[in-house]
Amino acid sequence: MSRMINSLALITALLCTLFSQSVTAEKLTYLIIAEQAEPFQINSVTDHVQSGTITDIVKFIAQKKSLEIDHQIMPFKRYLYEIKQQSYPNWISYGSPTWRAADDHMAQSKRLSKQVLFSAEHIMVSLKSQHDSPLNINDVVDKTVILLKGFDYPGLTPIIQQNAMNTLELNSHKSALLALKNGRGDLFIEMKSRVLYSIRQHQIDASTFNFTDIPDAIAPVDIHLSYGDAVPQELIDSIDLQILQMKANGEIARIISHYQ
């Protein structure tokens, strides 16, 4: 009798172990860029509220897949440093195949989702008071172009390397737009969604600017989720299927429209 009881106890213990393993949530560290990635990642240090297109997509996936997400917010340079150092092996964030060409961004975009979340276009912003009509990319020569500090702009790299234009690097979209308004630069080049979001968010008068699409200089950038080396491939494949479903049912389009 005691042997039977011991056997039942062993079986019960094994079943409990298997059950606990099956319900244990996979833990991922979501890496967030502080203040430079809006509206992809919108963060507030004071009230700890996280939002944005990428953040909302990650939240939705985490809920569907029962993932436990730990948020880590940091400046962009430290963000790249921590990825290279593999400080958080099970990290998730976002990246693009386009950024693999830049050594600094390679680690961010080394391991991407198969599914594209959305594409991001770049625009060139100039002041109407200084230019009667919108400028084109050829007009950057001998001009002071405002860029975000630490970011990579593949289409502009040859021009920058030839010293054919001056650059003014600033820490935020708001700072860049205000610097343009104050005459510290001639042009501001950045992702369209980020420029327009910043203008709305900071109540900057959009009518003072000219906006020029520049797809020939900087091709649209496909944005993917990106992962650390320790994230299981099975989980990545499962998330890819969830992304497909989110695109099919309009969930990703709904999230994007919320920030337009």
Taking the chain (260 residues) in runs of 10, the rounded mean pLDDT of each run is 49 47 75 92 73 97 96 93 94 92 74 97 92 76 90 78 85 94 94 95 94 90 96 97 97 94
Q: Does 151 lie in the same domain as 184?
A: yes
What is d(CA 197, CA 149) in angstroms, rounded to the nearest whole number?
18
Q: Does 180 lie in the same domain as 111?
A: no
Structural domain count, the chain: 2
Cβ–Cβ contacts within 10 Å for residue 121, how many?
Answer: 14
For the CA atoms of 65, 70, 76, 82, the dihedral, rounded to the nearest 10 degrees, stands at -100
User: Residue 132 is part of a domain; what is its CATH number?
Assistant: 3.40.190.10
The pLDDT assigned to 17 comes to 47
The pLDDT assigned to 132 comes to 72
Determine the structural domain holding residue 177 and report its residue range. Answer: 122-213
Q: Does 36 lie in the same domain as 110?
A: yes
The pLDDT assigned to 100 comes to 77
Q: Does 206 lie in the same domain as 126?
A: yes
The pLDDT assigned to 102 comes to 62
Dihedral sign of CA atoms 31, 33, 37, 41 in order: positive
The pLDDT assigned to 125 comes to 95
Q: Among 171, 208, 235, which Cα is nearest to 28's? A: 235
The pLDDT assigned to 48 comes to 63
The pLDDT assigned to 249 comes to 97
